[in-house]
Amino acid sequence: MMASKSNSTFSVLGSDIAVKGDIKASADLHIDGSVEGDIACASLVQGETSTIAGAITAEHARLAGSVDGSITARELVILKTAKIKGDVFYDALTIEQGAQVEGRFAHRDARAAAAKPQTGSAKPELTVAG
């Protein structure tokens, strides 16, 4: 029986799938294949064999493959097998030892601060996992 709630569904792109074009999903995505285009979804899990060339926007993202593009996520986990080229915007960030990232890290508040004056002193949450 199919679940009727949209927040309990997820889509899988297998390792044999290559997509050219943007992907928008209200569901959670699990990507093992390659994507050439931007991805916007609620939650993204990227497998080790996956390659993504494009911007990623997600509430939650767990990245283990290669990404060439900017990443914006409320909760971001970068695993040790990940290779990322691009700027990273986050609210909460976890990076495993061994992950490769070429780009700038910025708390999402900092991105908004460029448009309006800084108020308060909210500190970004950063966790380094061993």
Residue 27's pLDDT is 84
The whole-model pTM stands at 0.79
The encoded tokens of residue 120 equal 């308060």
Q: Are 14 and 35 a contacting pair, CB within 8 Å?
A: no
Evaluate if residue 128 carries a pLDDT over 90.
Answer: no
Q: Please tell me the least confidently modeled range out of 9-13, 72-76, 94-98, 115-119.
A: 115-119
d(CA 117, CA 21) in angstroms, rounded, equals 36
